[in-house]
């Protein structure tokens, strides 16, 4: 059985106290397409409020480096926007967009 002196233990304690803090990575540097749409969803909603259709937003995203089909955009937006809107009612961006285009 290995034994350790009090001096060895104290020295180890001192070295452990001096060890630098490890910084954990909290945010991934890359995002999937679904994650990107979720992160962009507030801006997408603002564009919709300014009159843009999903087709126009899809074209805008594709032109600016995020190629996405209209169906995929609608699906990801619905996932990202599950929950309540300002009035407390359930929201569904793609359905809202479809109703607005009728």
Report if residue 64 sits inside a domain.
yes
Task: Identify whether 48 is part of a domain.
Answer: yes
What b/e string do you get for 35-47 counting C-beta neighbours within 10 Å, with b at 16 or more? ebbbebbeebbeb
> Is 92 a member of any domain?
no
Indicate whether 73 pLDDT > 90.
yes
Q: How many domains does the chain have?
A: 1
Reported confidence tier of residue 31, pLDDT bands at 50, 70, 90: confident
pLDDT at position 28 is: 64
Helix axes 54-63, 33-49, angle to 10 degrees: 130
> What is the C-alpha separation between 53 and 59, in angstroms, rounded?
10
In a domain, 39, yes or no: yes
pLDDT interval class at 87 (50, 70, 90): very low
pTM greater than 0.75: no
- Domain carrying residue 44: 35-82
């Amino acid at each position: 059985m290995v034994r350790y002196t009090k001096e060895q233990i104290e020295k180890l304690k001192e070295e452990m106290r001096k060890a630098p803090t490890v910084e954990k990575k909290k945010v991934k540097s890359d995002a999937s397409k679904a994650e990107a749409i979720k992160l962009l969803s507030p801006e997408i909603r603002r564009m919709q409020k300014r009159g843009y259709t999903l087709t126009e937003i899809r074209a805008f995203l594709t032109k600016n480096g995020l190629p996405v089909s209209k169906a995929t955009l609608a699906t990801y937006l619905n996932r990202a926007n599950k929950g309540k809107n300002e009035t407390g009612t359930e929201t569904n961006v793609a359905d809202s967009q479809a109703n607005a285009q009728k």
